[in-house]
A = this chain, B = another copy of it.
């Protein structure tokens, strides 16, 4: 989902009344970022509070490539990483993930081995092969065992876009919350729905209801579901004891537009890129009785802050034996403070850009290769900016491209290298970069090796369902990352 997909963020159809209401009752973050323009690294960063370059969710296979966890991936979240749910356990929390995990699907990466107590959802994206007995469709798990597979047991009609998965995920969330309330146990729910990821889907009752097409139907169903979850918290009388945060793991995928791609508002490009459209996210904090209603924050925030903020809410300290990139946002959320901190825009293990205040310096520019672009793959359709949305990897480390995101949110007008404004801003940002790089210890790269043998051929529980497939011989290779 993109920054521009919610009414509260200016989507011209205004079809998200529940999320808009959530914002009106809580705090809207206008300058909130994900940690990667792609799903897996972004989610790993959210759950570890650390940049993907630290937690291993990157590749060294190709410079500045976007890598994730397809079925062939050998790697996943290392045991050495401490995930938010593992830490919350110390404060007595029950942790549940509903929806997409994406931190690795081999047994050692299973979410229940990394702090979650319950799981209903899939380890990977709901990609194809769609309907094949020869290659595995993505499984859905209930806790340790698979409950079926996408397209076979959990239908997504690729022609109409109909699927009731968001409804299943919603019911699962409501039931979990009810159960926790009944047993008076604190809980962490990671509600990781994926209806707006291509192939986009919605339930029958939402199909055709949006002015925006199927993508809008999916947004409307998510909006409706969030409304039902918040209402459920209120009806159970625990809304004032429950902190809720809504955000997205990357910008809207413009390669899927217009039918399956969303809106990044006034920002440049989308998913896969380190322009604002790829990494600035819708974000809303909600906690009635604590967060003043109707607040708007310009705090530079990150999905990694949800790690530190959640720990703070639970009265816990972040681990002190490693670098944590997230910060505790409670002073921002509860007292309206502004914390000075930079945003680092990584693509793979390459620091592409840095934002400090309203200035953003690009040290590398790249959308995708000419080779890919000539095949019609365009991350910036209708938004080509000469020298900015480049199709070769352009290095600017000695003379970064600088934008003022207040005057120019769309990153269309680089500041003049000769201006005093440029020199002051770049000097400041370069200092931050130097500091950052000096202390950076990259993690073991997890997204380098692919192997057909590790696909979801025979997930645990497949025997009971008669859903086991025979894995081929192992043949590990470097993964191919085209973007």
In the complex the two chains form, is B11's CB within 8 Å of A257's CB? no
In the complex the two chains form, is B410's CB within 8 Å of A382's CB? yes
In the complex the two chains form, is A406's CB within 8 Å of B213's CB? yes
Query: Given A12-B30, A412-B381: A407 and B216 within 8 A (CB)?
Result: yes
CA distance A261 to B261 in the complex (A): 28
In the complex the two chains form, is A412's CB within 8 Å of B382's CB? yes
A136 at the binding interface (Cβ < 8 Å)? no
Provide the A196-235 mask, 1 if CB < 8 A to any CB of B, else 0.
Answer: 0000000000000011110110000000000000000000
Provide the A253-265 mask, 1 if CB < 8 A to any CB of B, else 0.
Answer: 0000111000101
Residue of B nearest to A213 (CB): B407
Provide the A13-41 mask, 1 if CB < 8 A to any CB of B, else 0.
Answer: 11000000000000010110000000000
In the complex the two chains form, is A268's CB within 8 Å of B382's CB? yes
Shortest Cβ distance from residue A405 to the other chain B in the assembled complex, whole angstroms:
8
A408 at the binding interface (Cβ < 8 Å)? yes
In the complex the two chains form, is B13's CB within 8 Å of A10's CB? no
In the complex the two chains form, is B268's CB within 8 Å of A266's CB? no
A334 at the binding interface (Cβ < 8 Å)? no
Residue of B nearest to A11 (CB): B10
In the complex the two chains form, is B383's CB within 8 Å of A12's CB? no
In the complex the two chains form, is A215's CB within 8 Å of B11's CB? no
A243 at the binding interface (Cβ < 8 Å)? no
CA distance A215 to B408 in the complex (A): 11
CA distance A12 to B276 in the complex (A): 12
In the complex the two chains form, is B257's CB within 8 Å of A408's CB? yes
Residue of B nearest to A358 (CB): B211
A158 at the binding interface (Cβ < 8 Å)? no
In the complex the two chains form, is A258's CB within 8 Å of B10's CB? no
Task: Out of B211, B259, B265, name the residue touching A10 (CB < 8 Å).
Answer: B265
In the complex the two chains form, is B381's CB within 8 Å of A384's CB? no
Query: Given A213-B407, A259-B407, A382-B383: A30 and B14 within 8 A (CB)?
Result: yes
Contacts of A410 in B (CB 8 A): 382
Contacts of A443 in B (CB 8 A): none
Contacts of A265 in B (CB 8 A): 4, 10, 12, 265-266
Residue of B nearest to A8 (CB): B10
Contacts of A191 in B (CB 8 A): none
Contacts of A259 in B (CB 8 A): 407
CA distance A268 to B404 in the complex (A): 21
Shortest Cβ distance from residue A10 to the other chain B in the assembled complex, whole angstroms:
1
Shortest Cβ distance from residue A409 to the other chain B in the assembled complex, whole angstroms:
5
Residue of B nearest to A403 (CB): B258
Task: Out of B12, B216, B411, B413, name the residue touching A266 (CB < 8 Å).
Answer: B12
Task: Out of B210, B296, B384, B405, name the residue touching A382 (CB < 8 Å).
Answer: B384
In the complex the two chains form, is A12's CB within 8 Å of B263's CB? no
CA distance A263 to B4 in the complex (A): 14
In the complex the two chains form, is B10's CB within 8 Å of A408's CB? no
Contacts of A382 in B (CB 8 A): 268, 383-385, 388, 410-412
Contacts of A407 in B (CB 8 A): 212-213, 215-216, 258-259
Provide the A281-301 mask, 1 if CB < 8 A to any CB of B, else 0.
Answer: 000000000000000101000
Task: Out of B9, B215, B266, B388, name the residue touching A263 (CB < 8 Å).
Answer: B266
CA distance A73 to B406 in the complex (A): 37
Contacts of A10 in B (CB 8 A): 4, 9-11, 265-266
In the complex the two chains form, is A258's CB within 8 Å of B408's CB? yes
CA distance A79 to B409 in the complex (A): 45
In the complex the two chains form, is A406's CB within 8 Å of B14's CB? no
CA distance A391 to B9 in the complex (A): 32
CA distance A409 to B358 in the complex (A): 27
Contacts of A31 in B (CB 8 A): 12
**9 chain-A/chain-B pairs, Cβ below 8 angstroms:** A4-B266, A10-B265, A211-B406, A213-B407, A257-B413, A258-B412, A266-B266, A382-B410, A383-B383
Extra contacts, 11 of them, besides A10-B266, A12-B30, A258-B407 (Cβ < 8 A), are A3-B12, A7-B296, A13-B298, A14-B28, A14-B30, A210-B406, A211-B298, A212-B406, A216-B407, A258-B404, A382-B384
